[in-house]
Amino acid sequence: MPRSMRGQEYQVLLVTENESDSEDLARILATERGHRFQLNAAPDMDALKKQLGTSAVDAVLLAGDLSDASMTQIAIRLLELDCDLPIVAVTDDGEEETAAELLATGVQDVLWRSELDADRLGRALRYAIERAATLRELLESESMLHSILKNLTEGVIVADRQEKLLLVNAAARELLGLGSVSSLATDIFGMYEADTVTRIRDTARPMARALRGENVSDLEIFHRNADAPAGRFLSVNARPLKDVNGQINGGVVSFRDVTARRKAEQELTHLALHDGQTNIPNQAFFVETLRKAIARAERSHVRMAVLLLNLDGMKQINDRYGNENGDLLLKEVARRLADGLRAGDFLARMGGDGFVVLFEDLSHNEHAASLADKIREILAPAFAIREHQIPVSASIGISTFPECGDDAGSLIKTAEVAMRRAKESGRNTYHFYSRSVHAEMSRRAELERDLREAVEQEHFELEFQPIADLGSGRIESLETLLRWNHPEHGLVRPMEFLPILEATGMMNGVGEWVLASACLQIRDWQRVLGRPELSISVNLSAAQLGHRRIVDVIDRILTNANLSAESLILEITEATLLTEPRAVRENLSVLARTGVQLALDNFGTGMMALQSIRQLPLSQIKIDRSLVMSLPADPDDIALVDATLRLAEDLGLKVVAEGLEVDEQLRFLADRGCHLGQGNLVSPPLPVTSIHDFLGRDWRAA
């Protein structure tokens, strides 16, 4: 009966005596996507002839010998019955002689059993069926063939045994930019391997392979001609043409334009290896590049460096300018770095606000340091983002190969440790990784872990340092100081753990606890001592003061403590005002209107001009201890203190001198009109249990 293809379902006659083979092949074809293959078994020649005579068969899958015939004999008998019958054979690995015999008889394709999968087997059957149908139509009607070929979007070239071209359809001429058939040769000009763009050897040409009896499937080539100077990617198939006796008398090559698909694949590859926001290589691409660079460095015995940079203060930038402007800033940072670095420096984004640079062939560490300085110079000019001028800096960690690690993960990790050390050192700087840096950052990580537990368990203590009136000697207020007594390391210095609280976002919770505890404590002292005018001062961080709910938090704490707003003094530093200028100043204004007193702490460290204080709703200025300790010997410090006192008098502000240690300092400041002082001369910080006794006696008599 005539064969037919019903939609996407193919009728395949499976020739084998082995039931296991039948089950395996049926299972493989069942997983082939997009087509259905109905297998009908023929375990002997009688069944084979009966199936061919009574059923519509699209192809034969020859998978083994029958009892009375070998695979080659079966193929010959099948083709004697129907010379157009598409046959695909499956043989055991290494049976090259059997495979050659099968192909010589006219079998369309031979597959090795170990390489069988749904894709290969399904494709081989489909191609065999399609080729048989095309060839059948070619033999039945040459005029119909020419009509079909003329309208095919795939290019088709047919040649005889001597490679004389018999047919080149219109699609082939268009795709290859060819003229008339008489002027053509099968060595098509401009045919290259798709991936290497290397000229295809004469013996490897698809037509030459077809004339040798080979079947070529989905070979991708690259072709360029005058009509397509940019070139095209073509997917090529080639098959030998055989006469009724199975002798090769020509070859047919078909091909289609897959440039669009190839470009789509390249775009997908690009997307997989590049950061979608900045369009520079992503972390996965960098890690793979670093691995290859390590292999090269090991072979060549050279050094290299990894520079991991993290933009400083991106959270504050996003809070101030908005996330959309923050995203635009990251794009501009990536663009400026890409334009400013050397061509050989591999730049990638590590996610968030982190970037990384690979520096190969490193001769000296100074060269890596120079590159770090160059990165800082590149970032130094403010970035114009819409209507804003946004300043940006970066903290950079540097690790070197092989000293800091011999694999990609180690180099990145050690560079990150060094980068965090640069952050801790004040930002906008760089650090090389070293064992001491690692030890320091390990301690910091340990402290951070322990701090989180301390926050959860409220394992903090408060001490209070009295602030005295320099004229009367009376204690006017007390400054609240946070203490952390580590169960293993003992008392941890505030300068060690406070930055960690800030960096990890734990400061808001701890700060709120400090505020609430201090307010409750001063209320008790006011009542017990009969001193309603006694006030308490609490230091606020930039994160706390810039928080949108800080005003509500303080109002709630004062209400819960039944404490007047005037009894609370909030101490802020010049650095806080410079870090979050807009949000901080707005919250300061609201707090000042509620009656809360505001004190500018650590004044005189050089970050803020005297005249800028006029714009702040302050109650006090606290002169930094670094100025007080040199009095009355240093004329420059005397001049600054005098200027501060005059400004404070002009603005009606009280002045507190920090760090009083000796009587000479106290007399000097009191004579110049300084109101208040604190330091060991008055009293060191005291635990809560000692404050009552201290306030009940004259500290000047001690």
Alpha carbons 642 and 669: distance in angstroms, whole number = 9
At residue 108, does pLDDT exceed 90? Answer: no
Q: For 273, phi and psi rounded to 5 degrees? A: -110, 0
pTM of the model: 0.48
- Which contiguous run of DSSP H or E holds residue 353? none
**pLDDT tens for each residue of 570-606:** 998 877 776 556 677 888 889 999 999 999 998 876 5
Residue 612: band (very low, low, confident or very high) from pLDDT cuts 50, 70, 90 = low
Alpha carbons 303 and 406: distance in angstroms, whole number = 11
The residue ranking higher by pLDDT, 391 or 491, is 391
157 DSSP β-pair partners: 168, 253
Q: Domains in the chain, please, with CATH?
A: 9-140 (3.40.50.2300), 151-262 (3.30.450.20), 274-433 (3.30.70.270), 448-701 (3.20.20.450)
At residue 1, does pLDDT exceed 50? Answer: no
Burial class (CB in 10 A: 0-12, 13-18, 19+), 463: middle
Average pLDDT, integer, range 382-387: 92
* Strand locations in 226-264 (E): 228-242, 248-257
- The runs of H, that is alpha helices, within 546-675 are 550-561, 574-579, 581-594, 625-628, 635-651, 663-671
Residue 141: band (very low, low, confident or very high) from pLDDT cuts 50, 70, 90 = low
Q: For 267, phi and psi rounded to 5 degrees? A: -65, -40
* Strand locations in 64-133 (E): 87-91, 109-112
Q: What is the pLDDT of residue 66?
A: 73
The full length of the chain comes to 702
**pLDDT tens for each residue of 151-187:** 677 888 888 888 887 888 888 888 877 655 554 554 5
Average pLDDT, integer, range 488-511: 82
Q: What is the pLDDT of residue 578?
A: 63
Question: What angle is formed at CA 620 by the lines to CA 615 and CA 626, rounded to 5 degrees?
Answer: 105
Q: For 360, phi and psi rounded to 5 degrees? A: -90, 165
At residue 274, does pLDDT exceed 50? Answer: yes
